[in-house]
Structure 1
Amino acid sequence: MSRGATARSRSAERPPRQIFPIAVKYGAVSTVILLSFVMWVGNTSTDLALQSTAEQVNLNGSEQVLLVSSLITPFWADDSLPEEEQLAAQQQLGKKLNAFITTPGPHKVLDVLVLDANGTTLIASARGGDRLRVRLGDQIETDSLVDTGVRVREGTLSDGNRNAPVRSFEVELTAAGSSDKVGSVQLFLSAVAIERLEKSLQEALWSQLWTVILLGIPLVLIVGFLLTRPIRRLREDMVQVSRGNLDHQSTVSTTDELGALASSFNRMTRFLADAREQELHAQAVARDLSIATRIQNALLPETLPEISGIEIARYYQPAKEVGGDYYDVIDLPGDRAGIVVADVSGKGLAGSLVMTMTRSLVRMAARIQPDAASILGEVNASLSRDMTEGMFVTMAWAELDHDRGRVRIARAGHNPPLILRRSGRVEQFQPEGIALGMDPGPIFRRSLEVSDVDLAAGDSLILYTDGIVEAMDHDGEEYGLKRFARILQSLNEATPDDLVKGVLADLALHVAGAEASDDITLVVARRELTG
């Protein structure tokens, strides 16, 4: 792995640096939402209140200007009226207007002006018309006043000392019995109430905002801290587990999604703890199997001793890392030789240990016991004392005499040894005998038989385990003794090595890749042809 890839891998393993805790993020988002909501509500309320107040002012102003216009007779448009009478009517109108604005009402009337048709000549004024200066803006469009003919405009009214917000309401005057414009009436209402309402609403909005800032934000942070406490505890739990403490369990017990997450976390840690235990156990077993495999490989003969007049070939394949089969070739006194093949009932490490013990007992007994029956009896007596209940060993023993012309065969519950004659005939030998380790002595010795068999030049002795004849294909069909015998018959002229290869090839053809369920051991000993 490159240095850059290693650095990226280490960086990915480190947790991200915590700049803002989730409680702060929650508080910040909640505060923004809360402030936005308060401002929206405040602005909406302000707009609605101002709009409602303005509508009331507009309605009141329009009613009053219409009332004033109904009280006015346009005398200035009557050319037949003498000037003295017009002057008297003008004075009388001024008094009426002054009396009107001094009458108490919901909104204060500042002034009323009556103008001629051109709007340039002042006919009359409630306050004299020369003490107030008016500055008006554009016309305000008001749906409720469309049918009244009243025009509304905002502006300021000054008396020389101060300016006051006003609203101007103007309506046209027409001559009696005609629609011709002869003048207009302008009524000025104080808009101070609207200004004060707007100011008070703005102050109330800012008051609400400061309340949210001073009280709402700390409250949101406290709530966020309390709500995210289970998350912080879960994070601490994960840190404990990441440090290897798989026995740690989360104490979060809320009834929401975090509680469900904590429960899943606890199940996960229990599964991880179990998996770690299983992994450690598997590692220990693998270590033991590795040791046992090395021991077994060291105990099985790496090279076979040379036996004059005999050619030997063998094959061994355990079904697992450590097998329970055993084979050996042993030199015996008097230029004799012993060939042994055994099968332990157990597999794996237990079978290997029993196999190791069996090998040692066979070699020891072969040095001190004179014949096959004594050797197997001694091995059985030792195994019976130490064998675990339910375990046993099957064994086939073949003892070649000094001239190699005879073989003494003993069978302790094992597959029957075979003789492949040079002619191609296969003979099966089944002397009686029970497996080793099942009985401490008397029954075993009484049941054990030893067969003497002639071995002519070119004949082959075949010793094997049930891993060959019981090997199954994918359909569960066994290889069987008959097929084993047929392939041996076809290989009667083959050397021991070629015979072993031929049997294994036919066996592989039968199983067709199916997994082996038992160890396979095959030993072939052929008497050499004399010149």
Structure 2
Amino acid sequence: MRLYPARVVRKLMLIRAPLFIKIMAPLILLIFLTVGISGYRVYQESTSRWQTEMDTRLARVANLVANTVDRERLRVIRQPTDIDGPAYQQIAGRLEQAVIAANVAWIGIYYREDDYFYYWVDYDYSGVGYPFFYATPAHFSAYADRQPQPVAYTDEFGSYYGFVAPIIINNDAGQEEVIGLVEALVDQEARTLLQQDTFSRILPIMLIGSLIVVVLSALITVVLFNQPLRRLQHGALALAQGRFGYTIKLSSRDELGDLAETFNQMSKQLKKLYQELAERERIQRELEIAQRVQLATFPAEIPQVPGMTIATYFRPHRETSGDFYDLLPLGDGQIGIVIGDVSGKSIPAAMVMVAAQSIIRAEAYNFDSPAQVLDKSNTILAHRIVPGMFAAVSYARFDLHKQELIWANAGHVYPFLLHRVPPADQSDYPHYLETAGFSLPMGMNDDIRYEDDGLTLSPGDMILFYTDGIIEAMNPNRQIYGFDRLENLVRSLPPDISPEDLIETVLADVIAFVQEAEQHDDMTMVAVKVGGKAA
């Protein structure tokens, strides 16, 4: 048996063929096999880690919603007409926040009657009591065992994967009872996205590296073949074992030396690729955390202010945003409205945004004058942010008892006032709330002093605050939306339009204008109407 390999080699040597073919045939097979195994290990490790993190994220968000959902509000939702009620709106809003924060495709709540599940509340308002036809054994198991379960199913819109978690209460007898299921889903396509990306990055390296190795190996001479190939084989096995970055020490100045150098480059590239994939995953996790932290600084709900209707819209361009707004109940019939835009993008802008919003929120409770609030906030912020960054802010204070508005502006686009009864001459309509004195952004200079402006409001008047992402939205022809288009749109609207409809109309017009063009800025709007019920 020990002589068998030697006999095979002797028989192969008797075949009439060039010697380099006899050498290259097994070597090429070894190279492709090794590179394929190495690439597959990188691919398998990356996709396995991503899948584990996705499962953990889905299970956590399903459990979090199941444990924190307002059960009392949930119980009052039973009829299809309840979809327009405040209870449904509040829970659906929380589900929408969870969808954004967790970066999942859908979150909803079902209730069970007999052997069927029905839609209860979900973030895209599917309806109350609509049958859910795709319940799986995992749904029934989660309901019966009171434990989260992974689910997968396909409906007419696509294939989905996620987790369900039971909503448990203590009934009148003091026993635990399941009243519904929370389901958090992602599209099946999302599960394969990283796999495709990883494969597309590894394949060129595999092909190019293999091709270079094969070409160089074809130049190997029989005299210098034995010992260098043993080292190459050892290095290939090291890569197959996951030892990326392993290098071969070979000092021969010939084709075998070139082959060893190429192998070392391929090994380093595989190590670099593996490190880049790990770094990308780390950065993505940090961005998701930063997004959740940033969203937590925004108002969880619109304050209920008698005699005032407020509506808001916020859409970040990236995971994190430089735009912000705040709604500050100041007591005694007063409320503060803050809207701002920080220079820059991504995490640096988000950090300055959180700092600016926190400082203004604190100072708003120390001073009645918006100008004093901005003065003090600017002095603090100017010493805390990186040179070259700044925050454009508009702050207004509403006094509903006096029907009075006082505002100050720090380099932000001017909000405008829509009168309940538009003037006959609409050339000055809408009325921009301009300010006297300096209007430079906060953080540029700690010596800036801002000034207050004020006016008396009438019932039905409405103010729209917005960031430059609305005005500077660009269409495929690189034309911006602009103030003129916004003014013409506002003039065409009915005087009694609600804040929600105003924001929806402006947003729809901007979307129609930009078409499919990619946008490069955040968009934020706050509309406040005097004389209505709080929304």
Question: Residue 523 and residue 24 in structure 1: after superposition, are their counterparts in 2 closer, same or farther (change >3 A)?
Answer: farther
After superposition, residues 293-372 of structure 1 pair within 5 angstroms as 293-372=291-370
TM-superposed CA distance for 1:529, in Å, is 5.9
Contact 1:24–1:224 (CA under 8 A) maintained in structure 2: no
Deviations 1:421-477, CA, capped at 9 Å, x for gaps:
22343011221421111112x2x11xx222112322221111111111011112211
- Could you tell me how far apart the structure 2 residues matched to 1:384 and 1:256 are? 63
Structure 1: tracts of 5 or more residues without a match: 1-18, 35-222
Deviations 1:370-415, CA, capped at 9 Å, x for gaps:
3111111121111112101111111011111232622112110111
Contact 1:26–1:224 (CA under 8 A) maintained in structure 2: no
1:427 aligned partner: 431
1:519 aligned partner: 522
Question: Residue 226 and residue 368 in structure 1: after superposition, are their counterparts in 2 closer, same or farther (change >3 A)?
Answer: same
Contact 2:329–2:336 (CA under 8 A) maintained in structure 1: yes
Helix, strand or coil at the partner of 1:368 = coil
- Could you tell me how far apart the structure 2 residues matched to 1:366 and 1:461 are? 20
Helix, strand or coil at the partner of 1:524 = strand
Contact 1:409–1:453 (CA under 8 A) maintained in structure 2: no
Question: Residue 24 and residue 386 in structure 1: after superposition, are their counterparts in 2 closer, same or farther (change >3 A)?
Answer: farther
Contact 2:325–2:337 (CA under 8 A) maintained in structure 1: yes
Question: Residue 239 and residue 229 in structure 1: after superposition, are their counterparts in 2 closer, same or farther (change >3 A)?
Answer: same
2:444 aligned partner: 438
After superposition, residues 37-116 of structure 1 pair within 5 angstroms as none
2:40 aligned partner: none
Contact 2:369–2:452 (CA under 8 A) maintained in structure 1: no
Instruction: From the CA coordinates, give the structure whose radius of gyration is larger.
Output: 1
Matched residue type, 1:507: V
- Which of 273, 288, 291 does residue 289 from structure 2 map onto? 291
Question: Residue 370 and residue 493 in structure 1: after superposition, are their counterparts in 2 closer, same or farther (change >3 A)?
Answer: closer
Deviations 1:222-243, CA, capped at 9 Å, x for gaps:
x979624333322211222233
Contact 1:328–1:339 (CA under 8 A) maintained in structure 2: yes
Contact 1:404–1:527 (CA under 8 A) maintained in structure 2: no
- Could you tell me how far apart the structure 1 residues matched to 2:7 and 2:306 are? 92
TM-superposed CA distance for 1:528, in Å, is 2.0
- Which of 371, 374, 398 does residue 373 from structure 1 map onto? 371
TM-superposed CA distance for 1:486, in Å, is 1.6
Deviations 1:78-119, CA, capped at 9 Å, x for gaps:
xxxxxxxxxxxxxxxxxxxxxxxxxxxxxxxxxxxxxxxxxx
2:476 aligned partner: 474
Matched residue type, 1:341: I
Helix, strand or coil at the partner of 1:313 = strand
Contact 1:420–1:489 (CA under 8 A) maintained in structure 2: no
- Alignment: residue pair count: 319
After superposition, residues 71-220 of structure 1 pair within 5 angstroms as none
- Could you tell me how far apart the structure 2 residues matched to 1:527 and 1:286 are? 42
- Could you tell me how far apart the structure 1 residues matched to 2:298 and 2:509 are? 25
1:264 aligned partner: 262
Contact 2:326–2:337 (CA under 8 A) maintained in structure 1: yes
- Which of 463, 466, 471 does residue 464 from structure 1 map onto? 466
- Which of 488, 499, 502 does residue 502 from structure 2 map onto? 499
Q: TM-score, normalised by structure 1?
A: 0.56
1:452 aligns with 2:450: no
Helix, strand or coil at the partner of 2:237 = helix
TM-superposed CA distance for 1:255, in Å, is 5.5
TM-superposed CA distance for 1:258, in Å, is 4.3
Contact 1:420–1:460 (CA under 8 A) maintained in structure 2: yes
Matched residue type, 2:455: V
- Could you tell me how far apart the structure 2 residues matched to 1:525 and 1:24 are? 91
- Could you tell me how far apart the structure 2 residues matched to 1:364 and 1:24 are? 87
Give aligned-pair identity as a percent: 32
- Could you tell me how far apart the structure 2 residues matched to 1:521 and 1:303 are? 16
Helix, strand or coil at the partner of 2:365 = helix
- Could you tell me how far apart the structure 2 residues matched to 1:404 and 1:28 are? 106
1:137 aligned partner: none
- Could you tell me how far apart the structure 1 residues matched to 2:8 and 2:412 are? 78
Question: Residue 498 and residue 237 in structure 1: after superposition, are their counterparts in 2 closer, same or farther (change >3 A)?
Answer: same
Contact 2:245–2:270 (CA under 8 A) maintained in structure 1: no
Matched residue type, 1:413: G
1:30 aligns with 2:13: yes
Question: Residue 250 and residue 404 in structure 1: after superposition, are their counterparts in 2 closer, same or farther (change >3 A)?
Answer: farther
- Could you tell me how far apart the structure 2 residues matched to 1:27 and 1:224 are? 16
Q: TM-score, normalised by structure 2?
A: 0.56
Moved over 6 A (4+): none
Greater RCO, CA 8 A, separation 6+: 2
2:234 aligned partner: 236
Matched residue type, 1:407: L
2:44 aligned partner: none
Question: Residue 470 and residue 378 in structure 1: after superposition, are their counterparts in 2 closer, same or farther (change >3 A)?
Answer: same
Question: Residue 367 and residue 525 in structure 1: after superposition, are their counterparts in 2 closer, same or farther (change >3 A)?
Answer: same
Question: Residue 255 and residue 413 in structure 1: after superposition, are their counterparts in 2 closer, same or farther (change >3 A)?
Answer: same
Contact 2:371–2:407 (CA under 8 A) maintained in structure 1: no
Structure 2: tracts of 5 or more residues without a match: 18-220, 423-428
Deviations 1:250-309, CA, capped at 9 Å, x for gaps:
334555554444333222223223323322322222111111111112111121111221
- Could you tell me how far apart the structure 2 residues matched to 1:20 and 1:504 are? 79
Matched residue type, 1:321: E
